[in-house]
Amino acid sequence: MRYSIKSGAIEKVAADCLVVPVWGKSALSTEASHLEKVSDKALGVVIKSGDFSGKLGETSLLYKTSGVSARRILLVGLGERKKLNARAAAKMLEATAKAVAKTQSESAHYAMASVEITDRDTTWLAARVAQELEDACYRYDTTKSQKVTKPALKSLSITAPAGARRKGLEDVLKQGQAIGKAINRAKQLGNLPGNVCTPTFLANEAQVLAAKNKSIATQILSEKQMARLGMGSLLSVAAGSAEEAKLIVLNYQGANSSSRPYVLVGKGITFDTGGISLKQPAAMDEMKFDMCGAASVVATMGCVAELKLPINVIGIVAAAENMPGSKATKPGDIVTSMSGKTIEILNTDAEGRLVLCDALTYAERFKPRTIIDIATLTGAAVAAFGSQANVMLSNDDKLAQTLVQCGEESLDRAWQLPLWDEYQSLLNSNFADIANIGGPRAGTITAACFLSRFTEKQKWAHLDIAGSAWQSGAQKGATGRPVGMLMQYLMTQKA
């Protein structure tokens, strides 16, 4: 989609759809008041009818309005002026983007220069407009025999707020578009079925991404290479599957080669049956989403390259398929991780931490500034937080606070749980250095405690996205989270 800034009288903008805001209780915005005057009070007719009141996210379409060049006007409700914070504005922009995408408009113009967000600057709205439009235009049809009709929208323009620098607005539009596209990339990878999106498929996606971006180099480690490195934990997960595991490394260089990188590690279980500890059949189809951590890493790396961030970033994906089979790992088996620590596998359905621990050890060779792993790791996270929060645990308070703040800024929230030493004893094993589960209580915390054993020398944070990575029910599909939060973090870091 093309994005631009347009100046001049909004009634003369020749767009297919002109988006105009109205405050709650039918209070006209500056733009709406202007259109009311030049259109022979066409807006007032709609408002007086009672069909539109300006409540948050409400929309109403007007066609062929006198005195206005645009083919249609979309009125959008802002709600109460004093309550229009970033979260409310995002809800409004999401509803607006969906309404625009439902029309046959090929071009749209957002006339929202007068709208002020209580807790954001003037450029935030422009960036969010682009992000929400990209998100709203996503459609999945890859595995359908009849392709879904995609939104017709090809270009978007906005009216510049008074005093805003044109270059600055163009930059934030590009930023919002890039993040929106990255969220869609993560959704697309997550939505693909397990017989398509295999570890090899993910590896190929990484290579395609590197081929399109000179700033990214990629390396794919085979099972033989991982075996030579001693990655017995990761390989134990793939032992029962005919699909070969892959360790995918994406290396983005946006700064001097001597600058230490930021590392993202994604769980890439392309399908999770639970292995020998077989899952219940209900909703097992959703276990294709168990690679959404990997999807977020691949998508984020592409976004970093598109925005040419002046830092170095490493993306690592631990990709495997967890299947039962004659060679599958059994409960009670003991494996040796790349770190040398031995692990008693009490439950083969706690496999995500087994692939992540070797990937985290591998990440140490890059001497990272910080490591963030992203994983659909525990059902306990879903039980405690539902779909709202990315659950976060960390061994570094400063990193944790930064990620919480980035979650607030990006509206992709994280909530921190404790990583207290008192929980570590739950992972004691009579037969190995550590067990892979800690019992029925505090499952999200003990999973992070397990990973913390492999990041003791690093500034590390763990994001459990089991609740936030996808939706169930009628709207089943990947959400693309937490790409927004990860990008907010990386955009605020320095080389």
Residues belonging to the active site: 279, 353
Burial 171-183 (b: 16+ CB within 10 A, else e): ebbebbbbbbbbb
Separation of alpha carbons 227 and 307, rounded Å: 36
Give me the sign of the Cα torsion angle 290, 291, 295, 297: positive
Alpha-carbon separation of residue 3 from 26, 54, 126, 303, 410 (angstroms)? 30, 27, 10, 17, 21
Cα separation, 137 vs 152, in Å, equals 9
Q: How many CA atoms lie within 13 A of 493 on its CB side?
A: 28
The distance from CA 114 to its chain's CA centroid, rounded to whole angstroms, is 30
Query: What single DSSP character describes residue 319?
Result: E
Pairing of strands 59-63, 2-6: unpaired
Residue 248, φ and ψ in degrees, nearest 5:
-105, 125
Q: E strand or H helix at 262, and its extent?
A: strand 262-272
Rg (CA), the chain: 24
> Which tokens belong to 444?
């999200």
CA distance 454 to 339: 7
Is the Cβ–Cβ distance between 27 and 7 less than 8 Å?
no
Q: Give the whole-angstrom CA distance, residue 448 versus residue 254.
A: 31
Q: Which residues pair with 460 in a beta bridge?
A: 371
Q: Which residue has the tokens 């062929």?
A: 64
